Structure 1
Amino acid sequence: MRTHKLLLLAILFAGNSLCAQPLKRPKLVVGIMIDQMRWDYLYRYYGHYGNTGFKRLLREGFSCEQTMINYVPSVTACGHAAVYTGTGPAVNGIVGNDWYDRKSGKSVYCVYDSAVNTIGTGKAVAGGMSPRNLMSTTIGDELRIATGFQSRVVGIALKDRAAILPAGHGANAAFWYDDATGHFISSSWYMDSLPAWATAFNKEQRAAKYIQQPWNTLYPVSSYTASTADDKHYEVPVPGEDKPVFIHQFNKGKDYDLLKYSPLGNTLTLDFAKAAIQGYHLGSTATDMLALSFSTPDIAGHSFGPDAIEMEDMYLRLDKELGEFLVWLDQRYGSDYLVFLTADHGAINSPGFMQDHRLPGIGEKMGRAASLNEAISKQWGIPKAILSDAGSQLYLDTAAVSKAGVPLASLQQFIKAQLKAIPGIGDAVTIAEIHNGHLPAPFNDMYINGWHAKRSGDIMVVPAPGVKNGSIMGTTHGTMYPYDTHIPLIWFGWGIKPGRSYKHAGVTDIAATVCALLHIQMPGGNTGRVIEDVMVR
């Protein structure tokens, strides 16, 4: 009898022990976004990369080689919001870096919030930044909920929108760069004052030191065979310089904004990220998340374009620093951290570069509200039928059109005919036409995924392939074409087996996959699917 009781107690103890086993999660999740990183940069500069950065991620991680942005417009705010909400602008509401607000009649910046104050500039500044305009929860929000708000979530970037939108509504903090002081700042949405570690970091004045350092190539210029010669006519000089050539100097301005053109802008971002990990003791209790974005490749990239030596050197230096960062994480967490690396968008080749090589490419202004309003006024007598052309979308004053007794469909056809007569504009379509499948797949779905009923325009201006919005110089992004939408996606670290997949994946699939790995609920607006190949154990 005694033996049976002991056996029963042993079984009960074992059962209780099994029930008490904690759910396995990594100590830290690091989401890395590289602003304006095209997928092909992984391989274009591969021969010059070291073994500890991108090559290590590809060698030891799992690469989703056909990851595409699945909405339009492919711009910074939309990309950062989509990765962390698992859905596009149609649901999360971030339809651009800026958009036109019909109620106020003004342009809205994606993260501006008049109800909060700026924190960290030495005095509270009225009007600051917050995630209030984001209409969905994020990975970090769901992680906080799942752990009873024990998990800590922090967003860091030079750009405010690249720190705030990934961090989400319930984040412990988001920090971004202040051009005037060279400090990292935040807003009263997150805190009343900067934490002591951040104040101490700012007092070191690293930006002031970095901006004094010139930018020369890491290796001899002759070895940069993946790029064009220096000083091409389609490159835009850094503000304060006469020519877009090495050696670049950044200490000519009154403020610290020029540091964002230098690779040392990435260095400063990583410096602050390490300070945040240490300052918040991330990974010491529940699973924490760091949403880290590198803004400098985009800011410099707009000037130099994808084919410049500057961009090759930018990525060779970032490769080294990422390698060092991974080693630093190894030393701190062992194998108990998870990384995913992706981008918010790519970039078009400079039309000047394309023309030099007899390839299709031109610069063309997309919106043209002023000239169209002039034509409409002459034809229909409506002085300002187009309220805005923000984001290559035309916002029509439907009330004024109705008051003038002009059939809306007739006016739309007139506008479309005017636009389609312009070289470089491939099409102009109303949202009704898009919903009826006017554009070819998959472009039609991308416009549907990017159109928000309350924040988007009435007519979408569609560029032809190879057409850059603006001049033939530098680069930009925003379209549905692969140069803007084909981005890297690499999973690395905790629970990830090496490999690669060429199956199509959408940028909105990232959040669902992270949440599946962590066994937490997907963000509230999520429309993406789990990338099953990443889940193989």
Structure 2
Amino acid sequence: MKRIYLLFAALILFTQVSTAQKKAIKNESKKENPGTLNRPKLVVGLVIDQMRWDYLYRYYSRYTNGGFKRLINEGFSAENTFIPYTPTYTACGHASIYTGSVPSINGIIGNDWYDPQLQRSVYCAEDTTVKTVGSNTAAGLMSPKNMLVTTITDELRLATNFKSKVIGISLKDRGSILPAGHSANAAYWFDGQTGDWISSTYYMNQLPAWMQDYNKKKEADKFFAQNWNTLYPIDSYTQSTSDNKVYERKNRGEENPVFPHPLKLYMGKNYEMIKSTPYGNTITLDLAKQAIAAENLGQNNTTDFLAVSCSATDYVGHQYGPNSIEAEDTYLRLDKDLEAFFNYLDNKLGKGNYLFFLSADHGAAHVAGFMTENKLPGGTFSDANIIKTLNAQFEEKFKVKKAIITGMNSQIVFNHDAIKKANADYEQMKTMTIDYLKKQPGVMNAVDLSKLSSTTLPERLKMAVTNGYNARRSGDIYYFLQSGYFSGGSTGTTHGSWNPYDSHIPCVFMGWKVKAGKTNKTHYMTDISATLAAMLQIQMPSGCVGEPITELTHQ
């Protein structure tokens, strides 16, 4: 009798468990189709060239509710995100965001570098084996072949057996090509000689019909006709310096670098000028919308990826500096463009169906003249005379002509063949160079890259140089400039250092599976791809050294 009771009880329990399991499976099937992964329709990556982290908040009170404010309030921001290498340049930043790697591994150590085997400088995206598509200029002789590892966009293509579409868009070729990766369906960039968006035979033999039609519109002309005046009354730009500053660089044809900037001067003559105005960002995001519609991005059963880079912010920043009215106006206009872009994504794909992230390739230093004007440390530096002096000393002492080939990427590059042929003391030459550099105004330190592990440097700086050093492509000596110093002239500014003004960047995710929040834990640029890989449930890029932002992925 007892045995029958136990069997009856077990049967009831089994029936209850079975019913519960069936109900759970049925409920789960309502959430997603059986046998498919839960992924967003589209991933949109936006890299804003030269966007310092503080720009998220510097103009916050003037932003619209639907642009940067929406991103900050609805998204998840890793507030303490840094670039983990030096030098901090455009090509390195785009490559490292999308590879989750560092220049020592992905090979993109600068916008340009000296190749000892080719005995010349190499541009990061150059490729003479391809041809320009979309114009008759040489602006399209580009591809990602110099990038040595895969990107998160490549990994998405691999994970979906190449069913996912990946497209890159940027005014700059490197801002489009490197994020789009090796296996992209397309990458487009702006030809300043013709005013057309172009590509290369690496991707296609001719532009798609929709792009050809778009180029016929010559959208840049519309903005040239407007000139560039401030969006709001100029006296309301209280976060900026006065308009006419001698340390801001004026355009050709201008008497002073002041508003309104006469863009009509360049209409139909110099399309390159659109890049140095906020309208360069406007046409970039407009093209992004065109690409989404024409290529049906996010409309298939697989996740697509659109990699966009807004480059005009960089051109404006270089010319006028972070404290200029031009920089403030550029970000206020970009905010409106961003609001329109988010609204387009909402209407086209549905709010919450796309995953968006924003970051930057680097920041920028304050203009040297601005720093002097406000009694802050800073200045400019040139290695040309230093190299000239050292080469004269080496020729006299070691009988080697032009022992130093060049100085680039904060590095001194020696002519190893000439030194070896003369049987000169290479180690002594390096020591002389380091000693001489350390005595120069604006130089904080100089180190032998082959002896970095034994060099007395703060660990943060040692890590940054190590991550930026590629044995095949880097130089021999690395020099650090003092805070506020950079290589350049008396007008405008640049970037490239390890300092926070160059290396502290925004990192904000919004949309699919993202809950509003912030973290002040230290993260790195390389964590972006690792986070995307975790969220999309795909493999990390082949050279990835980043870690997922678990404060976001574990929400």
TM-score strictly above 0.5: yes
Q: 1:503, 1:10 → 2: CA distance?
A: 41
Q: 2:21, 2:430 → 1: CA distance?
A: 75
Aligned to 1:489: 507
Report the AA paired with residue 340 of structure 1. F
Aligned to 1:171: 184
Correspondent of 1:451 among 469, 485, 500: 469
Output one character per residue of 1:74-95: Cα deviation in whole Å (capped at 9) or x when no partner: 0000000000000110000001
* Alpha-carbon distance, 1:10 to partner: 12
* Alpha-carbon distance, 1:370 to partner: 3.0
220-229 or 429-438, which moves further after superposition?
429-438
- Secondary structure (helix, strand or coil) at the match of 1:239 reads coil
- Secondary structure (helix, strand or coil) at the match of 1:423 reads coil
CA contact (8 A) 1:366 1:461 kept: no
Give matches, 1:175-254, under 5 Å. 175-253=188-266, 254=269
* Alpha-carbon distance, 1:372 to partner: 2.4
Output one character per residue of 1:53-107: Cα deviation in whole Å (capped at 9) or x when no partner: 1111010000110000000110000000000000110000001000001011111
Aligned to 2:439: 421
CA contact (8 A) 2:139 2:191 kept: no
- Secondary structure (helix, strand or coil) at the match of 2:192 reads coil
Q: 2:20, 2:516 → 1: CA distance?
A: 41
Report the AA paired with residue 223 of structure 1. S
CA distance 1:182–1:45, shift in 2 (3 Å): same
TM-score by structure 2 length? 0.92
Aligned to 2:422: 404
Are residues 1:529 and 2:530 paired?
no
* Alpha-carbon distance, 1:472 to partner: 3.5
Output one character per residue of 1:22-79: Cα deviation in whole Å (capped at 9) or x when no partner: 1110000000000000001111111111111111101000011000000011000000
Aligned to 1:110: 124
CA contact (8 A) 2:132 2:139 kept: yes
Give matches, 1:28-39, under 5 Å. 28-39=42-53
Q: 2:138, 2:464 → 1: CA distance?
A: 38
| Structure 1: segments with no counterpart, 5+ residues | none
Q: 1:142, 1:337 → 2: CA distance?
A: 18
Report the AA paired with residue 48 of structure 2. I
Correspondent of 1:272 among 287, 295, 301: 287
Are residues 1:359 and 2:394 paired?
no
* Alpha-carbon distance, 1:436 to partner: 2.2
Q: 2:415, 2:369 → 1: CA distance?
A: 37
Are residues 1:93 and 2:107 paired?
yes
Q: 1:375, 1:220 → 2: CA distance?
A: 57
Output one character per residue of 1:170-201: Cα deviation in whole Å (capped at 9) or x when no partner: 00000000011111000000001001111110
- Secondary structure (helix, strand or coil) at the match of 1:251 reads helix
* Alpha-carbon distance, 1:407 to partner: 2.0
Q: 2:40, 2:253 → 1: CA distance?
A: 46
Q: 1:428, 1:168 → 2: CA distance?
A: 34
* Alpha-carbon distance, 1:209 to partner: 2.0
CA contact (8 A) 1:239 1:258 kept: no
Q: 1:464, 1:205 → 2: CA distance?
A: 45
Q: 1:24, 1:97 → 2: CA distance?
A: 37
Q: 2:140, 2:270 → 1: CA distance?
A: 21
Give matches, 1:116-195, under 5 Å. 116-121=130-135, 123=136, 128-195=141-208
Correspondent of 2:454 among 423, 432, 436: 436
Correspondent of 2:298 among 274, 277, 283: 283
CA contact (8 A) 2:133 2:140 kept: no
Report the AA paired with residue 354 of structure 1. M
CA distance 1:144–1:468, shift in 2 (3 Å): same
* Alpha-carbon distance, 1:437 to partner: 4.3
CA contact (8 A) 1:366 1:425 kept: no
- Secondary structure (helix, strand or coil) at the match of 2:36 reads coil
CA contact (8 A) 1:497 1:536 kept: no
Correspondent of 2:308 among 264, 287, 292: 292
Q: 1:503, 1:527 → 2: CA distance?
A: 18
Q: 1:276, 1:28 → 2: CA distance?
A: 12
Q: 2:522, 2:139 → 1: CA distance?
A: 45
Q: 2:427, 2:138 → 1: CA distance?
A: 46
Aligned to 2:272: 257
Q: 1:164, 1:63 → 2: CA distance?
A: 26
Q: 1:375, 1:47 → 2: CA distance?
A: 57
TM-score by structure 1 length? 0.95
CA distance 1:388–1:535, shift in 2 (3 Å): same
Q: 2:525, 2:63 → 1: CA distance?
A: 25
Report the AA paired with residue 296 of structure 2. H
Q: Percent identity?
A: 48
Report the AA paired with residue 64 of structure 2. G
Output one character per residue of 1:239-267: Cα deviation in whole Å (capped at 9) or x when no partner: 33221100001232422000111111111
- Secondary structure (helix, strand or coil) at the match of 1:155 reads strand
Q: 1:378, 1:425 → 2: CA distance?
A: 25
Report the AA paired with residue 280 of structure 2. G
Q: 2:379, 2:550 → 1: CA distance?
A: 40
Are residues 1:477 and 2:495 paired?
yes
* Alpha-carbon distance, 1:346 to partner: 0.2
- Secondary structure (helix, strand or coil) at the match of 1:387 reads strand
Q: 1:151, 1:240 → 2: CA distance?
A: 47
- Secondary structure (helix, strand or coil) at the match of 1:112 reads coil
Are residues 1:58 and 2:75 paired?
no
* Alpha-carbon distance, 1:388 to partner: 1.9
CA distance 1:258–1:270, shift in 2 (3 Å): same
Output one character per residue of 1:327-381: Cα deviation in whole Å (capped at 9) or x when no partner: 1111111120000000000000011001001110111114643332123212322
* Alpha-carbon distance, 1:422 to partner: 1.1
- Secondary structure (helix, strand or coil) at the match of 1:363 reads strand
Q: 2:476, 2:532 → 1: CA distance?
A: 35
CA contact (8 A) 1:95 1:451 kept: yes
CA contact (8 A) 2:401 2:418 kept: no
Q: 1:222, 1:210 → 2: CA distance?
A: 23
Q: 1:310, 1:342 → 2: CA distance?
A: 21
Output one character per residue of 1:421-465: Cα deviation in whole Å (capped at 9) or x when no partner: 210011111113322243212011000000001000011121111
Q: 1:194, 1:90 → 2: CA distance?
A: 35
CA contact (8 A) 1:74 1:480 kept: yes
Larger radius of gyration: 2
- Secondary structure (helix, strand or coil) at the match of 2:413 reads strand
Q: 1:373, 1:80 → 2: CA distance?
A: 35
Are residues 1:385 and 2:403 paired?
yes
Report the AA paired with residue 84 of structure 1. Y
